[in-house]
Homo-oligomer: A and B are copies of this chain.
Amino acid sequence: MLKNKHILDPWSIIENKFDSSKMIDSESIFSLGNGKIGQRGNFEEDFSGNQSIGNYISGIYYKDKTKVGWWKKGYPDYFAKMVNCPNWNTIRIEINNNVLDLNKCKVYSYKRELNMKEGWCERNVELETPNKEKIQIISKKFISLKRENIGVIQYSLKPLNKKIKIKILPAINIDVKNNDANWNQPFLETTKVKSNNNYSIVKSKVINSNFEIATFIKTKYFINSISVQSRFSENKNENLIGSQSEFDLNPENKLTLLKIGGYVNSNDTVKDEFENLINKELISSMDLGFDGLLKENSKAWENIWNDSDIIINGDVFSQQAVRFNIFQLNQTFNGNDPKLNIGPKGFTGEKYGGVTYWDTEAYCIPFYLGTKNSIVSKNLLLQRYNQLPNAILNAEKIGLNHGAALYPMVTANGEECHNEWEITFEEIHRNAAIVQAIKKYVNFTDDFDFINKKAVKILIAISRFWSQRVNFSKELNKYVILGVTGPNEYENNVDNNWYTNYSARWCLQYTIEVLNKISESEINTYNKITLETSLEKDEIKKWNEIIEGIYLPFSKELGVFIQNDGFLNKDLIPAISIPENERPINQNWSWDKILRSPYIKQADVLQGFYFFDDDFDDDEHISNFNYYEQFTVHESSLSACIHSILASKINDLDKAYEYFIRASRLDLDDYNKEIKQGLHITSMGGTWMSVVEGFAGLRVKNNEIHFNTKIPKKWDSYSFKVNVKNRKLSIKIDKNTTTVSLLEGEPINVIINGLKTQLKK
């Protein structure tokens, strides 16, 4: 199963073989971003093989008209999709009047390295053209963490065996389109194009929206590292915006192009200021030069690693993978802009539209809480708070009322985007993930002001949702939740999904607990909240009835909770019996066959054991884990991390390690055969969780910080830092010892493997 597709290195991802048939896969892996803008790992020069050009700006999306075979009432009008922007990355090369195209050359030496420590990507190629010119190309680039609007390319070309005439056209390519457009329509229209020697700008407008962007480039040439003035000739290609220059190069002479490019957009800057801002960016960047820009970028990455690195000694396979995950999370989202969020594929692919899912709350917020200032997670939750009115409208669409809220499955601005009834209307457990994140945030930060004044309104609205969404079954004499899809999307429209029912009960309990606390500590706040939300005592009474009476399917015989009604009627053959050539089943089986099988896409009952782990004793953990694991096919990226954490919990460290590897190397080794669609960014938070919550066993329970530490056989030691309770802790775990130090903040009690210690600086 496990295939190692890249060279092992603690800090870099390296491919040293050029395989033009795998171009799209590699483009995903070698993507670059800074949380604001990003791009797939496209070659700069022309490439006639299969490729997938992608440049994206977080928060800039197109409302793509819904495409559906059979309309259902309540479906949204559009799916928000981040826009594939003009490609500032393009450099067209002509060698002796022939366009350079790696797909048509003999590549005899090739190395591409993604250096995660310093945040750059370098490609070093030696090739022979069809006309026998031997050429070396070295391209090094990064998207600046320090300067959020720009990326930088240093592109060098050296003839190795002949004198050549080279024409070079660093350009903005405006012939780009979203690959996943519903109606094969463009998302952008070009409103203005300007090209003036070494500077070009393209202004564009997202169709049918107010979003406007400008794409820009500026260039500078060097020969053998000495700056040269080039003559610029007119460029006749109307899709490539830029100016062409021409050089004659003798063998072993090196032409170097510095190209700075990027985007400004109307979310940040008024349109009239676009060019001023660009000029300012370009002047200071050009002054600094490639080395200066690279240095400040490396410094910014150093700061990030200082806070968020997980150091693993003794197993470079794990080390490389965990860093790849942390690196990608930081490339995708930096928390600087309270309007932005985390798309499931970040800037690495268009699937899922680049907009917000429950992944943010369930799999990403723990990472950002642990490694960033708490304002980052707070901003993410504030987005949900600000979208509460839309979530209430969304619940009204499915017939609920009186302030009940259903958060969208997929959203850019609070409006639902998804259009499959079994997901849009039925995968309602997503509401609970938001409450989970609120609780985790408050536990980590003690920010009672946020929960008492704001988040409590989310809690009330979500509790209202559950209290209206249940119904009372006379047959069972219990409250039931009918017609849902759980986290395991390989069951649709089932009744009494245990995870959903359990989560619903917990949301009600937590809401009541928070309301009680507020009423005890801040009666004025409490009165204000109840007034603003028209909260009635009868509602809370009803919530308590549901808490008492909700149905939680359980098999005495098996000693496990039942995933959903009817699960035990299935043909319960473990997943190991599925032939390898039928995997993943979602690419090989018809949907009905998947649905009536017992196979589980991702943790479902076990997702509950992750969220509510303290509610269950060790025996329950073991029996439920063993029962459900055997049917789980992990065809969601969100599955392996939860299984790793739970395997740690039950002390099955070999299994925990196996799942950790599966989670952390999912993309590097392409287990699910879908890397061409982009990286699984949001699940990468799960890799961090597998280490910090899994092996190291971090739990924050009210005012206590617990570590229950374990270490996989293959590791000698591992260490990381974590922000919690306004402290920064450093944790180091080796085979025999766990050392926790307080780096910042007031003294605090920490319970390490059951022993309480007071930590001081």
Contact = CB atoms under 8 A, between A and B. Distances in A.
Contacts of A590: 72-74, 397-399, 421, 425
A493 B495 contact: no
A7 interface: no
Contact of A66 (B69, B74, B495, B568): B69
A69 B419 contact: yes
A592 B419 contact: no
Interface stretch (A293-301, A473-481, A522-530): A473-481
Given A72-B590, A483-B595, A588-B73, A569 B476 contact: yes
Contacts of A73: 586-591
A492 interface: yes
Interface string A53-96: 00000000000001111101110000000000000000000000
A474 B598 CA distance: 14
A66 B397 CA distance: 28
B69 A591 contact: no
A292 B676 CA distance: 70
A406 B202 CA distance: 56
A592 B67 contact: no
A570 B69 contact: no
Contact of A492 (B472, B473, B493): B493
A426 interface: yes
Contacts of A162: none
Contact of A593 (B398, B492, B566, B587): B398
Interface in A562-599: 565-566, 568-572, 586-593, 595-596
A248 interface: no
A545 interface: no
B399 A591 contact: no
Contact of A495 (B70, B476, B566): B566
Interface in A455-484: 471-476, 480, 482-483
Given A69-B67, A72-B590, A419-B69, A480 B399 contact: no
Contacts of A587: 73
Interface in A404-437: 419-422, 425-426
B565 A566 contact: yes
A475 B566 CA distance: 9
B471 A398 contact: no
Most chain B beta-carbon neighbours within 10 Å: one of A398, A421, A483, A571: A483
A72 B595 CA distance: 12
Contact of A483 (B422, B586, B596): B596
Given A476-B569, A492-B493, A572-B474, A399 B589 contact: yes
A566 B482 contact: yes
Contacts of A72: 590-591
Contact of A482 (B67, B472, B569, B586): B569
A661 B592 CA distance: 38
A180 to B, nearest CB: 12
A481 to B, nearest CB: 9
A70 B68 CA distance: 8
Interface string A363-403: 00000000000000000000000000000000001110000
A595 B493 CA distance: 8
Contact of A565 (B483, B565, B572): B565
A566 B569 contact: no
Given A67-B67, A73-B591, A421-B591, A571 B426 contact: no
Interface string A487-513: 000001111100000000000000000
A492 B494 CA distance: 9
Interface in A586-633: 586-593, 595-596
B421 A592 contact: yes
Interface SS, A side? loop
A304 to B, nearest CB: 36
Given A69-B68, A476-B569, A569-B495, A592 B471 contact: no
Nearest to A67: B69
A587 to B, nearest CB: 7
Contacts of A591: 72-74, 421, 425
B480 A569 contact: yes
B568 A475 contact: yes
Nearest to A421: B591
Contacts of A595: 482-483, 493
Contacts of A471: 569-571, 596
A568 B67 contact: no
Nearest to A590: B74
A635 to B, nearest CB: 13
A565 B399 CA distance: 24
Contacts of A593: 398-399, 425
A163 to B, nearest CB: 53
Contacts of A472: 571
A398 B569 contact: no
A489 B684 CA distance: 40
Contact of A596 (B419, B474, B482): B482
Contacts of A592: 398, 421, 425-426, 483
B399 A473 contact: no
Contacts of A496: 569
Contacts of A589: 73, 399
Nearest to A586: B73
A566 B422 CA distance: 18
A406 to B, nearest CB: 10
Nearest to A587: B73
Nearest to A79: B69
A480 B567 CA distance: 12
A4 B409 CA distance: 46
A493 B595 CA distance: 8
A457 B69 CA distance: 34
Nearest to A582: B399
A394 to B, nearest CB: 10
Contacts of A493: 422, 492-494, 595
21 contacts: A66-B69, A67-B69, A69-B69, A69-B419, A70-B419, A72-B590, A73-B586, A73-B587, A73-B588, A73-B590, A74-B590, A398-B593, A421-B592, A471-B569, A471-B596, A473-B568, A475-B569, A476-B569, A482-B566, A482-B570, A483-B596
Interface of A: 66-70, 72-74, 397-399, 419-422, 425-426, 471-476, 480, 482-483, 492-496, 565-566, 568-572, 586-593, 595-596
Top 3 A-B residue pairs of the complex, sorted by shortest distance between their CB atoms: A425-B592, A74-B590, A483-B596
Given A69-B420, A474-B568, A482-B596, 5 more contacts: A68-B68, A480-B569, A482-B566, A483-B592, A565-B569
